[in-house]
Amino acid sequence: MTNKKKTFPSTTNPKLSEIKKEVYQLAQVKTTKMLKGLKVEFTSLDFRRKASWEKALTILKGDDSFEEWRSNPPEKYKEIFNQIDIASKEHQTNLENTNKAFQKLGNSIKELDKLTKDVTEEASSLTKDNVVIIPISIPKKNSNKSH
Q: What is the pLDDT of residue 64?
A: 58
What does 10-68 look like in DSSP terms, one character per residue?
-SSS--HHHHHHHHHHHHT-SSHHHHHHH-GGGTT--TTSHHHHHHHHHHHHHHHHHHH
**Mean pLDDT, consecutive 10-residue segments, the chain of 147 residues?**
48 84 92 90 92 90 70 82 91 95 95 93 76 79 62
Q: Which pTM does this prediction carry?
A: 0.38
Q: What is the pLDDT of residue 76?
A: 82
